[in-house]
Chain A
Amino acid sequence: MSLVFYISSFIAILSTIMVITRYQPIHALLYLVVSFLALAVTFLSLGAPFAAALQVIVYAGAIVVLFIFVVMMLNLGKQTAQQEKEWLQLRAWLGPSILSLVLLAEMAVLLLQDAPEAMPATVVTPKQVSLSLYGEYIIAVELVGFLLMTGIVGAAHIGKHKKKSLHRFLQTYPNLN
């Protein structure tokens, strides 16, 4: 399974680089789907089949579809890609990228200090996960239910188009309404 892990994590890193460098939003979204699917294969090779299935269903299936619908509703055309090309100059991305690379190097040095230990080749089954989820983590599951509820209510409230209502004396063109 180690070869599967190396190939899929390489694909994930490569497609993530493509996501953050594209000009067109829809191209970035399609590369994001590839990145999420590659991470799902990584989860599978690490012995977490339930997480892999959820990655495909929720991330690649629901969240990215939501993004694609919003990009379609915004109707971003060629001028958006042109604007992105103007914004993404060398002096704009060089500084943050170098600082992030320094952070990554520090993280790698810290991680590689200890002796390497191998990952066990066992699978954490969905049965274990669900027993733990509805056993010791039951209060957190209920809190996540609250969170999703507030997410739905918030999205419905924010996304509502408010109709501006004026008194008929204040309207400049009353015949149009």
Chain B
Amino acid sequence: MSIVHAHTVLIVAAILFVLGLAGVLTRKNIIFMLLSIEIMLNAAGLAFVAAGSRWQQPDGQVMYLFILAMAAAEVSVALALVLQIQHQHKTLDVEELKELKD
């Protein structure tokens, strides 16, 4: 059996992060942008877990837990916002939401 190198794990995390970044930059639907943000947070968590496993310390998983809690809070608020946006503007296009008034 071959060995997993630490660089390989970090490159996988970087690929996932860049995929999420490309999703945020490319899509115009607000639900897909939220999904891409979740992917980016998850990639950051993978980097933390890999670092914690590399030095055999629990700190990486502790930071992953904090990322998890932050993602849960962020998603609940963001989905409530999405419901309000759909209710008031009848669209999910981010370019339609330029006006911050009202």
Contacts and interface: CB of A to CB of B under 8 A. Distances in A.
Contact of A111 (B11, B27, B45): B11
- Tell me the dominant secondary structure on chain B's binding face: helix
Given A59-B68, A88-B27, A117-B6, A46 B49 contact: yes
Contacts of A50: 61
A101 B15 CA distance: 9
B102 to A, nearest CB: 12
A13 to B, nearest CB: 6
- Tell me the dominant secondary structure on chain A's binding face: helix
Contacts of B74: 151
A25 B3 CA distance: 38
Given A19-B35, A100-B18, A118 B6 contact: yes
B72 A20 contact: no
Nearest to A48: B49
What 7 A-B pairs come out closest when comparing CB atoms?
Answer: A151-B73, A96-B25, A20-B23, A159-B80, A158-B80, A132-B58, A155-B76
